[in-house]
Amino acid sequence: MPDTYFIVPESQHNALIQAAYQHRGFQADEAAEGARFCAEASRHGIRTHNGIKALHLDHLFGSGSKGCVPGAQIEEKPSRFAAAKIWNANKKLGQSTAYRAMAEAIRLADQYGVGTVSVDNAFHYLWGGGYVMDAARKGYIAYTNCTAALAEVVPFGGKFPTLGTNPHSWGFPTTEAVGYPIVIDWATSVVAMGRVQQLAREGKSLPPDAAVDENGVVTTDPKKAKFLIPFGAHKGYGLSLINEIVGGFIGGSLPTIRNRWDRAEGDKGTCCFFFQVIHPDAISGGAFAKGRNQAQNVKAVIADVLGHGNEKCMLPGQLEAGWAKHTATAGGLLFTQAELDAFNELATEAGQPRWESASFKTHTV
């Protein structure tokens, strides 16, 4: 069934998000980066990590708590390896840190073929897919993972949440092959908590076996959901565990005290990020079949996967690319009435003009 959305000019959206961040004490460059990221999420239909989620997260765990420090400066730590940077983010805004880290990893990949940036004392960067998608558009293979803001996922076979939703994000430079970057981006729970919040806002139900209530009973009511469940049973659990272990190697502390500052006194309650960028030339064996070059070979591989009766299968990143086309056709970012209401709460907080739905055109998807 088609849905109708209000078309909000991107400049108007960004002005509100930037004003909201600056109202909370963030510097102009941080606020602009936060707004830019939120626009990218909305442009690609990522409703779970748009400006509403970003500022809600900041209120709960960031500048409104002890997890994020407006105006913080990134400190580069000593590293024995030229292509591997280690940063202390000092609780800087996650989007600002992530943009800088991915740019540095790209610079390293240009020089060494591969580059990594490991970030300690970070504040959550929200939608990892946005950073790898941007790098993939520029021609690189990119990966990132992070430890999520809270431990709210119950491990496979367990009963108490000791893991974050802990996303993994891969981006591949496949625009020449399929028209857009393939972006494989997923939380390791069945749904992210941002999705739970979105469904509650929209009055919709959760999928089955995605969450449990405060008594550990599986529920499809997003308003009763207390903890989340890993996707794929032991497989999702293992993937989530990867992030916690990588974070442990970087410097992250116990998952169960992350952003729970009443429990973290004398310890660490911050997140960790890991970024890796690979230049495609750095992994090219050169011996492609039938005289194909690397780009032609990648295109042939994808075509084979989607052949043999699989022509209707979707590629990761296809939905986001399709939504970006809707956004471009509409000429602005697309939001529901419930989302406009949430943005107006931010406008009131920041002393900005409210958005009146009657002033916006609509677009049906």
Closest by Cα among 282, 305, 42 to 178:
305
Compute the average pLDDT of residues 28-35: 98
Mean pLDDT calculated for residue range 195-224? 90
Distance CA 265, CA 77 (A): 24
Token output for 162: 């000791």
d(CA 325, CA 343): 23
In the block, residue with structure tokens 């004392």? 121
Give the ranges where 44-169 is alpha helix by DSSP (H).
Answer: 51-61, 94-112, 128-137
Closest to 97 measured CA to CA, from 84, 83, 87: 87
Distance (Å, whole) CA 147 – CA 166: 5
Question: Model confidence at 309, in pLDDT bands (50, 70, 90)?
Answer: very high
Average of pLDDT values for 271-290? 98
pLDDT at 1: 65
pLDDT at 217: 85
Average pLDDT of the residues of the chain? 96
Angle at which helix 337-350 crosses helix 51-61, to 10 degrees, equals 50
Q: Cα(281)–Cα(138) distance, rounded to whole angstroms?
A: 14
**Element (DSSP H or E) covering residue 274:** strand 271-278
Between the alpha carbon of residue 341 and those of residues 72, 202, 203, 350, the distances in Å are 31, 11, 14, 14
Q: How many whole angstroms separate alpha carbon 277 and alpha carbon 265?
A: 35
Integer Cα distance of 363 and 326 in angstroms: 9
Region 144-152: mean pLDDT is: 96
Give percent of the chain above pLDDT 70.
100
Name the nearest CA neighbour of 228 among 154, 137, 292. Answer: 154
The label of the residue with tokens 């941080």 reads 30
Provide mean pLDDT across the span 120-141: 98
Confidence of residue 214 (pLDDT cuts 50, 70, 90): confident
The enclosing H or E element of 42 equals: helix 28-43
Cα separation, 311 vs 304, whole angstroms: 10
Q: Which fold has domain 72-189+230-332+355-364?
A: Ribosomal Protein S8; Chain: A, domain 1 (3.30.1370)
Mean pLDDT calculated for residue range 295-310: 98
Spell out the domain ranges in the chain.
72-189+230-332+355-364
pLDDT greater at residue 1 or residue 230: 230
Using a 10 angstrom Cβ sphere, with 0-12 exposed, 13-18 middle and 19 or more buried, the burial of residue 156 is: middle
Q: What is the band of 193 on the pLDDT scale with cuts at 50, 70, 90?
A: confident
Q: Model confidence over 321-340: pLDDT tens digits?
A: 999 999 999 999 999 999 99
Q: What's the rounded mean pLDDT across residues 21-26?
A: 98
Instruction: Kindly report, residue by residue over 62-88, the tens digit of the pLDDT.
Output: 999 999 999 999 999 999 999 999 999
Q: What percent of the chain has pLDDT over 90?
A: 91
pLDDT tens for residues 219-229?
999 999 989 99
pLDDT at residue 151 above 70?
yes
Class of residue 11 by CB neighbours under 10 A (exposed 0-12, middle 13-18, buried 19+): exposed
